[in-house]
Chains A and B, each alone.
Chain A
Amino acid sequence: AQKVTQAQTEISVVEKEDVTLDCVYETRDTTYYLFWYKQPPSGELVFLIRRNSFDEQNEISGRYSWNFQKSTSSFNFTITASQVVDSAVYFCALAPPWDDKIIFGKGTRLHILP
């Protein structure tokens, strides 16, 4: 069975603090893709990153960074020096390359307090 678990339902941090959102996945496939999406209050999900299971290099994009560890089946997302605009619901997702279904976690609601 394939599953994505985001254990943190809701997180609140003060602006400029760093925050890490956890994502643990389950799959028996050796090839798969992992994703992170952001859902701001407007409701529209925005794609942040896609990671191939064969590429375990960490990625940094501005204040965002992702830590992919196959050994622990985790794909964590860190926001450095958080800003109020980062307040949103963040979803982690999993997909095998031959299937059309993307499996989403339940999301983590992130509040950045001014």
Chain B
Amino acid sequence: DGGITQSPKYLFRKEGQNVTLSCEQNLNHDAMYWYRQDPGQGLRLIYYSQIVNDFQKGDIAEGYSVSREKKESFPLTVTSAQKNPTAFYLCASSIWAATGELFFGEGSRLTVL
């Protein structure tokens, strides 16, 4: 079945460690996104990519990095520079940006100990 796969679903990390969240899609979508969700905050855009080898910062990119080496993959690295990394992270894709519907993965919950 087509869709978006995020892994791992749950992740625990010690302070000072980098961690990479995986996002893979087999929908042949050009655009991919990473959102962060905190209780009562809604969804905030971290990074997005319209095409392979290109990506742009969203509203809260500090402390995060991404790559888009393949159309189907858009991994997110949460670096030690991110001050408050504990959150629920959602990856999404769309056939074309903004005007198309977003397809979301099931999310990755990161907890920093």
- A residues with CB within 8 A of B: 9, 33, 35, 37, 42-47, 50, 91, 95-102, 104-107
Contact = CB atoms under 8 A, between A and B. Distances in A.
Interface residues of B, number: 26
B43 to A, nearest CB: 4
A82 to B, nearest CB: 23
B56 interface: yes
B101 A100 contact: no
A29 to B, nearest CB: 12
A41 B93 CA distance: 20
Nearest to A104: B43
Interface of B: 31, 35, 40-45, 48, 50, 56, 58-59, 88, 90, 92, 97-99, 101-107
A106 B98 contact: no
B95 to A, nearest CB: 12
B60 to A, nearest CB: 12
B98 A100 contact: yes
Residue among B59, B90, B104 with the most chain A CB within 10 A? B104
Top 10 closest pairs, chain A to chain B, by CB: A100-B97, A106-B42, A47-B101, A43-B107, A45-B104, A95-B98, A104-B43, A44-B106, A104-B42, A97-B99
18 contacts: A45-B43, A45-B90, A45-B102, A45-B104, A47-B103, A50-B101, A91-B42, A91-B43, A97-B99, A100-B50, A100-B56, A100-B97, A101-B45, A101-B59, A101-B98, A102-B45, A104-B35, A106-B42
B58 A101 contact: yes
A94 B77 CA distance: 27
A37 to B, nearest CB: 8
Contact of A33 (B43, B88, B99, B107): B99
B42 A33 contact: no
Nearest to B42: A106
Nearest to A44: B106
B40 A47 contact: no
